[in-house]
Amino acid sequence: MEVILKEDVNKLGHRGDVVKVAAGYGRNYLLPGKLAIEATPANKAVIEQMKGSAIRKSAKEKAQAEELSATMAQVELEFERKVGENDHLFGSVTSGDIAQQLEAKGFNIDRRKISLEEPLKQLGEFHVPIKLYRDVTTHVKVTIKSDAPEETAAA
């Protein structure tokens, strides 16, 4: 079955692409989810017009993402967590935690765009990648500190 994608679909294609998919995948997922339309001759003519507007929209979104990327590169986040032996955290810092702190600083970023392979479980500084757009990725500096007061060496 041939369909025209109305939105970007992971591992399938981008908005405006004409792709062949299994009939069940198209009928049960793409079409009801409004992610695609059937590739009829009439729809193909309409999609040509949509491609022009999609290119303009894509360029605008990319420019906004690059602007946001430049702003976010300066952002530093700090977390205080309880620490056990060997500076190992009792909890962890997840992409949800990072998204929450970014929102508090005025950046509305979906936690799924934060590319943490696994939660942060050590003290220290980390540079966490955030995918803002297809080709635009920025890094945010995340510092994890102990919530215990610094122990000074008493002589």
Q: Is the pLDDT of residue 122 over 60?
A: yes
pTM of the model: 0.63
Q: Is the pLDDT of residue 152 over 60?
A: no
Report the pLDDT value the prediction gives residue 150, as an integer from 0 to 100.
58
Q: Is the pLDDT of residue 47 over 80?
A: no
Q: Would you tell me how many other CB atoms lie within 10 Å of the CB of residue 26?
A: 21
Q: Do 2-62 and 73-146 share a fold?
A: no
Continuous segment of H or E residues that includes residue 121: strand 120-122
Residue ranges of domains in the chain? 2-62, 73-146
Contact 44, 8 (CB under 8 A): no
Higher pLDDT, 142 or 150: 142
The H-assigned helical ranges of the chain are 23-25, 41-72, 95-104
Query: Per-residue pLDDT tens for 2-40?
Result: 998 888 888 888 877 889 999 999 899 988 988 888 888
Q: Write down the residue that tokens 């967590």 correspond to.
A: 81
Burial 89-128 (b: 16+ CB within 10 A, else e): beeebebebbbebbeeeeeebebeebebeeebeebeebeb
- Fold classification of 2-62 is Ribosomal Protein L9; domain 1 (3.40.5)
Query: Per-residue pLDDT tens for 61-83?
Result: 888 888 888 888 888 999 888 88
* Range 73-146 classified under CATH 3.40.50.960: no
Q: How far apart (Å, rounded) are the C-alpha atoms in residues 33 and 35?
A: 5
Report strand pairing: 124-133 vs 136-146: antiparallel
Instruction: Please name the residues in contact with 135: beta carbons below 8 A apart, sequence gap of 6 or more.
Output: 62
Report the pLDDT value the prediction gives residue 153, as an integer from 0 to 100.
39
